[in-house]
Structure 1
Amino acid sequence: MGDDPAIPALPSTPPEAEHVFGERLDLAEHYVALLATTGIAHGLIGPREGPRLWDRHVLNCAVVRELIPAAGTGQAVIDVGSGAGLPGVVLAIARPDLHVHLVEPLARRTAWLSDTVRELGLSNTTVHTARAESLWGTLSAPWVTARAVTGIVRLAEWTLPLLSVPGQVLALKGSRGRTELAESERALQRLGVVRSDAVTFGDSGDEGTTVLRLVVERLVDLRRFRAAGTTSAGSARRRGDRPRAPRGGKVSDRGGRSGSS
Structure 2
Amino acid sequence: MSDSVSRETPPPPASAAGVFSTHLPLAVRYADLLATDGVVRGLIGPREVPRLWERHLVNCALLGRAIPEGTDVCDIGSGAGLPGLVLALARPDLSVTLVEPLLRRTAFLDEAVQALGLDNVEVVRARAEELHGHREFSVVTSRAVAPLDRLLGWSMPLVREGGALVAMKGSSVQEEIVTAKTALRRYGAGAVTVVEYGSDLIDPPTTVLRVEATRPSRLGLDALRPSRSARRATKSPTPRTSRTKKGR
* 1:141-180 equivalences in 2 (<5 Å): 141-180=137-176
For the pair 1:208 / 2:205, whether they are aligned, the reply is yes
Give the whole-Å Cα distance in 1 for the aligned partners of 2:20 and 2:212: 27
CA displacement 1:3-23 (0-9 Å, x = unmatched) = x33534211211121121111
For the pair 1:139 / 2:135, whether they are aligned, the reply is yes
Preserved CA contact (<8 Å) 2:72 2:138: yes
CA displacement 1:64-96 (0-9 Å, x = unmatched) = 11011214xxx3100000001000010001110
Match of 1:23 in 2: 22
CA displacement 1:220-251 (0-9 Å, x = unmatched) = 568x9xxxxxxxxxxxxxxxxxxxxxxxxxxx
- Equivalent position to 1:101, from 97, 102, 109: 97
Distance 1:14 1:133, change over 3 A: same
Match of 2:235 in 1: none
Give the whole-Å Cα distance in 1 for the aligned partners of 2:5 and 2:192: 46
Give the whole-Å Cα distance in 1 for the aligned partners of 2:217 and 2:123: 25
Structure 2 counterpart of 1:208, which letter? Answer: P
**Greater length-normalized contact order (CA 8 Å, ≥ 6 residues apart):** 1
Give the whole-Å Cα distance in 2 for the aligned partners of 1:221 and 1:98: 22
Match of 2:44 in 1: 45
* 1:1-261 equivalences in 2 (<5 Å): 4-5=3-4, 7-71=6-70, 75-202=71-198, 207-220=204-217
SS in 1 for 2:189: coil
Distance 1:103 1:6, change over 3 A: closer
Structure 1 counterpart of 2:206, which letter? Answer: T
Preserved CA contact (<8 Å) 1:165 1:219: yes
Range 7-16 or range 176-185, more displaced? 176-185
Preserved CA contact (<8 Å) 1:174 1:208: no
Structure 2 counterpart of 1:35, which letter? Answer: L
For structure 2, the residue ranges without an aligned partner over 5 or more in a row are 222-248
- Which consecutive segments of 4 or more residues in structure 1 shift more than 4 A? none
Q: What is the CA distance between 1:124 and its match in structure 2?
A: 0.2
Give the whole-Å Cα distance in 2 for the aligned partners of 1:125 and 1:221: 23
CA displacement 1:42-73 (0-9 Å, x = unmatched) = 111111000000000111111111011214xx
Structure 2 counterpart of 1:196, which letter? Answer: V
Range 17-26 or range 121-130, more displaced? 17-26
CA displacement 1:186-243 (0-9 Å, x = unmatched) = 431222112211112356x973321111111221568x9xxxxxxxxxxxxxxxxxxx
SS in 2 for 1:70: coil
Q: TM-score if structure 2 supplies the norm length? A: 0.82
Give the whole-Å Cα distance in 2 for the aligned partners of 1:207 and 1:39: 24
